[in-house]
Amino acid sequence: MNSKIAKTFANCKREKRAALITYTVAGDNTKSNSLKILNTISKSADILELGFPHNTPIADGGQIQESSHRALKNGIKLKDVFKIVKEFKNSNPDKPLILMGYFNLIYQSGENNFLKNCKDSGVDGLIIVDLPYPENKKFSIKCKKKSIDFIQLVSPTTSDERMKKILKDSHGMVYYISMLSTTGGKLKVAPKKILQNYNKIKNINRSKNIVIGFGITDKTIAALKKADGLVVGSQLCKTITNSLKKRLNTAKVLNKMVYKLKKKII
């Protein structure tokens, strides 16, 4: 277990803090700007999630939909996504990058071809929103063979029995969805309750790095900082939307936001 993702979690643990994981959409609002954003926020972020946009995203709320829409309108294609990853990795070889998206794009590109492109560009992990367990079994084995972390998702509706099975087949990192919601929903569950569920998962296998996502903003992040990692996505997409409206330098504004988030969990 010496993936860059695992190393990053180990480092964070040594520093006794949660890992900060950001999510932005590749190509939002342009290809070059999204690369600039990655380069800038990687100073504060520990792991970067990069969305490859789909125009029918059934699990995303308004903020990420808007970012995806902007990116697609600007003509982003998968090959551009991989190019962005490659260029980012050239200047930040040790920073873990996780691609996140919907299965149809992988299906069309061909699983093996997609994974080859991941490997070539330096992708460290994959989150596929609509490829749940056990449907993802074969694909996750393929990922492992390429030393790419396939990140399983678990949610408040996941039964105990199912949770155990998912964790058993998971790689190093597991993503816990904090509540019943699409991305970008208001946190409607008490952080204490979320951490209770988190601990339940953690107790199944303490060696897994469990991150919490959905509904996490600068307002809610501090209350959850006991987790191994915390994902902020919609708030960053919203920040991009707002800074574009105000014609501000998106990378700069986003950098400030990510810095602020980081300060809240150290």
Partner 1 sequence: MKIKKGKLLIDQHDKNFMYGGKFGGNFVPETLKKPIDDLTKLFTKLRKDKKFLKERDECFKSYVGSPTPFIKLENLTDYLKGAQIYAKVVSEANGGAHKIYNATVHCLIAKKAGKKFIVGDTGAGYAGKMLSMAAKKFGLKCKIFMGAKDIKRQRPNVEAMKKNGATIVPVTTGSQTLVDAVSECMRYWVSNCDTTHMCVGSTVGPNIFIKICAWSTAQISRELFIQVKEEFGKIPRKIKLLNCVGGGSSAIGFWNEFMDTDAEFVGIEAGGPKNSNLHAAPLTNGSKIGILHGAAQYVIQDKEGQIGSTESISAGLDYPGISPLHCFLKDTKRARYTSANDEEALKAYQLVSKLENISPSLEPSHAFHEAIRLAPRLKSSEVIIVNSCGDSIKDKDIIKQKLGSYKR
Binding footprint of partner 1 on the chain (CB under 8 A): 54-61, 65, 69, 72, 77-78, 102-109, 129-133, 135, 153-159, 162, 177, 180-182, 185
Planar angle of CA 166, 98, 108, nearest 5 degrees: 85
Question: C-beta of 129: minimal distance to partner 1 in Å?
Answer: 6
With respect to partner 1, which residue has the nearer C-beta, 131 or 195?
A: 131
With respect to partner 1, which residue has the nearer C-beta, 180 or 266?
A: 180
With respect to partner 1, which residue has the nearer C-beta, 105 or 244?
A: 105
Question: C-beta of 176: minimal distance to partner 1 in Å?
Answer: 10
- Whole-angstrom Cα distance, residue 204 to residue 52? 31
With respect to partner 1, which residue has the nearer C-beta, 77 or 146?
A: 77
**Could you tell me what percentage of the chain is helix, strand and coil, using 3-state DSSP and rounding each to the nearest 5?**
50, 15, 35
Question: C-beta of 233: minimal distance to partner 1 in Å?
Answer: 14
Planar angle of CA 218, 210, 200, nearest 5 degrees: 105
Q: Which two tokens stand for residue 52?
A: 């490859």
Question: What's the Cα-to-Cα distance from 102 to each of 56, 68, 130, 216, 235, rounded to whole Å?
Answer: 9, 12, 6, 21, 20
- Whole-angstrom Cα distance, residue 216 to residue 261? 10
Q: Which two tokens stand for residue 130?
A: 């609509």
Question: C-beta of 107: minimal distance to partner 1 in Å?
Answer: 6
With respect to partner 1, which residue has the nearer C-beta, 22 or 136?
A: 136
Residues 99 and 119 sit within 8 Å (Cβ to Cβ): no
- Whole-angstrom Cα distance, residue 24 to residue 233? 6
Look at residues 105, 110, 87, 107 and name the one whose alpha carbon lies nearest to residue 97: 87
Which is catalytic among the residues 28, 49, 80, 149?
49
Q: Tell me whether residue 80 is one of the annotated catalytic residues.
A: no
Question: C-beta of 86: minimal distance to partner 1 in Å?
Answer: 18
Q: Tell me whether residue 49 is one of the annotated catalytic residues.
A: yes
Residues 127 and 229 sit within 8 Å (Cβ to Cβ): no
Residues 161 and 37 sit within 8 Å (Cβ to Cβ): no
Which is catalytic among the residues 60, 124, 149, 228?
60
Question: C-beta of 54: minimal distance to partner 1 in Å?
Answer: 7
- Whole-angstrom Cα distance, residue 254 to residue 34? 11
With respect to partner 1, which residue has the nearer C-beta, 57 or 191?
A: 57
Active site (catalytic) residues = 49, 60
